[in-house]
């Protein structure tokens, strides 16, 4: 019998990281190692001990370890990176770049040292720049570096459509492309409810308002509670982890490396991606109209600008 998957979470003592550990344990996806900095040793060990006790009631047998030692991630199938400063009110994702690029670079170097065969999922913001940072710092092939953004953005979009229509979220199918947040590219043409075009239920004007709310979904939560969201970002991440460890070949919107797809070269941008045991097994190109192409190009251009900032901050990543 094959051994269970090993899933490591860097930043596991934080809200997003601990929530990732929770969802992965509830789904019993494998054994979990939550890593955090020495200053947070008590927090990460305490949160994981709390989780172990909760899982005894859930009847989940996932092993759970809280640690500050990167050596414990050895043999990981998937490593999730949530490390970095969270957004504060009035702060854009781009404001985070100077601090978080250094953190993600250091984390990525430790992943390369201790878990060189792992598939890496980046959650840290600004997402698109951090995925590039992790790619360069690990030296891993592009199919083993993925950014989680699209799953979260689509979830927010679907949630708002369900709130508007009263229909079950199970029957809402949607797709978004491009960068995370304000740069996302909505695709109402690819949005349906049980196969019925969403336009039959929601006017174009109202749908545009819903799209705008989805774009600013993270900022809305920051304003309400003073820090970044964590339940939904974590669940979006575990949706990706599950697709990989179970080799499900799911089509999910992820920040994946584009090598000519959609006319984008050398950047990690949100695109429909087939996720399986090898990581990103294929980027799916879909037909876009002229307006959608223009929006995606603008989004990719902004990702390129962020990558240039990373290169200037850390010449070793160029």
pLDDT at 191: 96
pLDDT at 179: 84
Distance CA 256, CA 152 (A): 15
Higher pLDDT: 3 or 204? It is 204
Whether 302 sits among the annotated catalytic residues: the reply is: no
C-beta separation of 118 from 7 below 8 A: no
Structure tokens at 105: 């670079």
pLDDT at 299: 93
pTM of the model: 0.95
Distance CA 79, CA 33 (A): 9
C-beta separation of 238 from 24 below 8 A: yes
Digit-coded pLDDT (tens) for 268-277: 999 999 999 9
Q: Strand 265-276 and strand 6-10: pairing?
A: unpaired
Instruction: Identify the active-site residue in 114, 143, 180, 302.
Output: 180
| Structural domains of the chain, with CATH | 6-147 (3.40.50.720), 150-312 (3.90.110.10)
C-alpha triplet 237, 244, 31: angle, nearest 5°: 75
Digit-coded pLDDT (tens) for 92-122: 656 778 889 999 999 999 999 999 999 999 9
Q: Phi first, then psi: what are they for 65, rounded to 5°?
A: -130, 130
Digit-coded pLDDT (tens) for 159-173: 999 999 999 999 999
For the chain, give the percent of residues with pLDDT over 70: 97
Question: What order do you get walking across the sheet with 64-67 strand by strand?
Answer: 64-67, 31-35, 6-10, 78-81, 119-122, 145-147, 250-259, 265-276, 279-283
What is the rounded average pLDDT for all residues in the chain? 94
Confidence of residue 91 (pLDDT cuts 50, 70, 90): low
């Amino acid at each position: 019998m094959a051994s269970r998957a090993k899933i490591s979470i860097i930043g596991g003592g934080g809200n997003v990281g601990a929530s990732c550990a929770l969802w992965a344990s509830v789904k019993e996806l494998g054994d979990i190692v939550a890593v955090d900095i020495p200053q947070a040793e008590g927090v990460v060990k305490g949160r994981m001990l709390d989780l172990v006790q909760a899982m005894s009631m859930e009847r989940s047998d996932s092993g759970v370890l809280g640690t500050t030692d990167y050596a414990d991630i050895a043999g990981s199938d998937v490593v999730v990176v949530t490390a970095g400063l969270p957004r504060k009110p009035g702060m854009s994702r781009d404001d985070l770049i100077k601090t978080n690029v250094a953190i993600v670079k250091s984390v990525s170097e430790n992943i390369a040292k201790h878990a060189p065969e792992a598939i890496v999922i980046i959650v840290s913001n600004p997402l698109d720049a951090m995925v590039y940072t992790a790619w360069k710092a690990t030296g891993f092939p592009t199919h083993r570096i993925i950014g989680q953004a699209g799953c979260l953005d689509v979830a927010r979009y679907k949630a708002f459509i369900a709130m508007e229509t009263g229909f079950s979220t199970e029957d809402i199918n949607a797709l978004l492309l491009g960068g995370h947040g304000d740069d996302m590219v909505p695709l109402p043409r690819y949005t349906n409810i049980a196969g019925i075009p969403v336009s039959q239920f929601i006017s174009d004007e109202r749908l545009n308002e819903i799209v705008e709310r989805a774009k600013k979904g993270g900022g809305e939560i920051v304003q309400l509670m003073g820090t970044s969201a964590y339940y939904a970002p974590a669940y979006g991440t575990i949706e990706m982890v599950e697709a990989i460890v179970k080799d499900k070949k799911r089509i999910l919107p992820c920040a994946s490396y584009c090598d000519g797809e959609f006319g984008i070269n050398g950047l990690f941008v949100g695109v429909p991606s087939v996720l399986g045991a090898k990581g990103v097994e294929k980027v799916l190109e879909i037909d876009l109209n002229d307006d959608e192409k223009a929006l995606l190009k603008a989004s990719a251009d902004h990702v390129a600008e962020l990558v240039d900032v990373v290169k200037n901050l850390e010449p070793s990543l160029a």
